[in-house]
């Protein structure tokens, strides 16, 4: 395996529908549109995936700024592989913030709130180029012939001689390969003490835009050059 080093400076309620949504100027196929009830929902399946919305929690007035308005505990399985995660939705006076869509294999999972009926929906789409998504540590996705695996994230902190906190940064290891080909390892960092930063990686004919980096995942968009 070859290692390429890059420094990043700075940083069920059961009926479901299959249809199309319009986003960012193009239509996207929705494989599963599942309206959810509060609490546990029945397991659904699509394209070999077993999808279990374990618990939907909704609160109109969160206890603090770190508490989401909507939280879905989600478990997904396909064959011998399984994935457990949380989808969060935050809403403030000026902006809404989410941690999805989350990626698993060649699908992405997100929430949608129907403002008229106040219903929360779980949406499942096929992953594709030009789609933004969050990739969590140890997860693998496939887009066409391109495979991505976020191998691990190392979080570190520095202190001064008096034991005072100075800075924190993370090191990311992202495996990339085309089907049946050799793997490469892209290694990059996100120290927060620098102002300038590199916001994308390039590998072969692919461009991986780094939209956000955290201690647990990366938000990316993959394009063909």
Q: What is the pLDDT of residue 209?
A: 94
**How big is the chain, counted in residues?**
225
The confidence score (pLDDT) of residue 167 equals: 75
The answer to whether the CB of 136 falls within 8 A of the CB of 102 is: yes
Q: Give per-residue pLDDT as tens, 90-149.
A: 987 777 889 999 999 999 999 998 888 789 999 999 999 999 999 999 999 999 999 999
| Domain edges within the chain | 2-10+134-224, 17-128
Q: What is the pTM of this model?
A: 0.83
- Distance of alpha carbon 141 from alpha carbon 29, whole angstroms: 18
* Rounded distance between C-alpha atoms, residue 162 and residue 166, angstroms: 10
Rounded distance, CA 25 to CA 29, Å? 13
Return the bridge partners of 222, or none.
Answer: 208
């Amino acid at each position: 395996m070859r290692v390429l080093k890059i420094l990043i400076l700075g940083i069920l309620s059961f009926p479901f529908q299959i249809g199309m949504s319009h986003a960012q100027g193009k239509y996207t196929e929705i494989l599963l549109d599942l309206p959810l009830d509060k609490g546990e929902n029945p397991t659904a399946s699509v394209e070999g995936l077993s999808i279990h919305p374990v618990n939907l929690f909704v609160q109109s007035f969160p206890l603090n700024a770190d508490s989401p308005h909507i939280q879905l505990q989600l478990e997904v399985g396909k064959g011998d592989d399984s994935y457990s995660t949380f989808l969060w939705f935050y809403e403030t006076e000026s902006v809404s913030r989410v941690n999805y869509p989350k990626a698993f294999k060649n699908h992405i999972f997100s929430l949608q709130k129907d403002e008229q009926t106040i219903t929360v929906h779980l949406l499942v789409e096929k992953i594709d180029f030009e789609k933004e998504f969050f990739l969590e540590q140890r997860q693998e996705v496939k887009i066409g012939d391109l495979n991505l695996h976020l191998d691990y994230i190392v979080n570190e902190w520095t202190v001064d001689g008096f034991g005072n906190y100075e800075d924190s940064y993370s090191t990311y290891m992202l495996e990339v390969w085309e089907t049946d080909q050799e793997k490469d390892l892209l290694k990059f960092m996100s120290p927060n003490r620098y102002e300038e930063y590199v916001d994308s990686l390039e590998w072969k004919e692919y461009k991986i835009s780094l939209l956000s980096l955290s201690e647990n995942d990366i938000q990316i968009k993959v394009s063909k050059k």
